[in-house]
Amino acid sequence: MAQSITHPVISPAADTPVTPLPLRAVLPWAVFVGTLMLVLLYFVGAEQGATSVFSGAGVHEWVHDGRHLLGFPCH
Ligand SMILES: [Zn+2]
């Protein structure tokens, strides 16, 4: 089959069988990325005042724009 601009070949390997990823291989990475996202969400959303892990306002200033962008209460 000739390839042209009006009739492009979308997937030349369309007859290749697709093997799904096993859940056992994906699950550790999903847990790792989920935990990382929860930690990031904590630092963006709750790292200030009485709940702060680190003293001072350094972490708060680093994520300040993200806090406002995501609609977390700030000041
Ligand atoms: Zn603010």
Check residue 1 and give its pLDDT: 55
Check residue 28 and give its pLDDT: 97
Looking at residue 55, what DSSP letter applies? S
Task: Provide the residue count of the chain.
Answer: 75
CA of 51 to the centre of ligand 1 (A): 16
Is the distance from CB of 9 to CB of 1 less than 8 angstroms? yes
CA of 44 to the centre of ligand 1 (A): 11
d(Cα 9, Cα 52) in Å, to the nearest integer? Answer: 56
For residue 9, give every residue at least 6 positions away whose Cβ sits within 8 Å of its Cβ, in sequence order, or none. Answer: 1, 3
Q: For the chain, which residues make up each domain, given as ranges?
A: 29-70
Please list the pLDDT of the chain residue by residue as tens digits (75 residues): 556 777 776 666 667 888 888 999 999 999 999 999 999 998 888 887 777 888 888 888 888 999 999 998 888
Which residues are in the CB-under-5-Å shell of ion ligand 1? 74-75
CA of 75 to the centre of ligand 1 (A): 5
Question: What number of other Cβ atoms are within 10 A of residue 9's Cβ?
Answer: 10
Fill in the amino acid letter for 7: H
Check residue 29 and give its pLDDT: 97
